[in-house]
Amino acid sequence: MALRKRFGFLDWWPGETRDEVIIGAILTQNTSWKNVEKAIANLRKEKMLDLKKIAGINIRKLEVLIKPSGFYKQKAKRLKGFVVYLFGNYKNLDELFDNGVPELRKELLSLNGIGMETADSILLYAAEKPIFVIDAYTRRSMSRIYLRRKEFGYEELQSLILRELPKDLRLYKDFHAQFVELGKRYCRKTEPVCAECPLNKACKYGRLR
DNA sequence: ACCCAGGTGGCCC
DNA sequence: GGGCCACATGGG
């Protein structure tokens, strides 16, 4: 793992509160963060950036607020499903997050609309558990560095990275954030910007130059 | 008029 | 286990 280029240490996930992190994690599913920001702004304006408030709001109203983030009907349902489960089974997030990581992860995965990436985002950035998030940026960056031949499944790639990194919460957050910054700025699907990319020769595109 | 974006579930084989 | 599709908006 020869990648330790830095954009500065990133303690990351755009969102002040755990509630906001969880809401953002669901809203950003296959959606640009720009669109999520619009939805978050709508929720903030209505004081709805809060899981308890989400539990109380009419789902139609919720749909309208999060509309800019796309897939708004299913995402409204997913947010509702999460808070119904949370407050139906626990007093609050602290109590939910007190569960052990493997149990907690399974629990999150059992909820509709919470897949591995969303679950791990919640685990890492809201619950502050040491786990690594694999997203499209991470996959793409990794595949351009040295995976190439073999395709890796989610958990395969995750355990590969976890094995290479010292077990450190801050490092996991930072390292995932590095991949996202890398992906947004240079390692894009179309028109990769290789000239100033820190990966440079490590990347197959950089090598072609 | 396309293609893309910090995925997930359902259905099929 | 995988491959394909619907889900929806906003930006390039």
Tell me the domains of chain A and their CATH numbers: 18-126 (1.10.340.30), 136-208 (no CATH)
Burial bucket for residue A176 (CB in 10 Å: 0-12, 13-18, 19+): buried
Q: A54 CA to B6 C1', in Å?
A: 23
Answering whether pTM is above 0.85, one says yes
Q: With bands split at pLDDT 50, 70 and 90, how would you rate the model's confidence at A208?
A: very low
Which amino acid, one-letter code, is at A171? L
Give the Cα separation of A194 and A208 in Å (integer): 10
**pLDDT tens-digit readout, A71-101:** 999 999 999 999 999 999 999 999 999 999 9
pLDDT score, position A77: 98
Give the Cα separation of A108 and A41 in Å (integer): 26
Does residue A32 reach within 7 angstroms of strand C, measured from its CB? Answer: yes
| Nucleotides of strand C under 7 angstroms from a protein beta carbon | 1-2, 7-11
**pLDDT tens-digit readout, A50-67:** 999 999 999 999 999 999
CA–C1' nearest nucleotide, residue A156:
C1
Give the Cα separation of A85 and A78 in Å (integer): 11
**pLDDT tens-digit readout, A20-60:** 999 999 999 999 999 999 999 999 999 999 999 999 999 99
CB A125 within 8 A of CB A163: no
Token couple for A23:
């809401």
3-state secondary structure (DSSP) of residue A205 = helix
* C-alpha to C-alpha distances, A205 to A5, A8, A73, A119, A186, nearest whole angstrom: 17, 24, 39, 32, 11
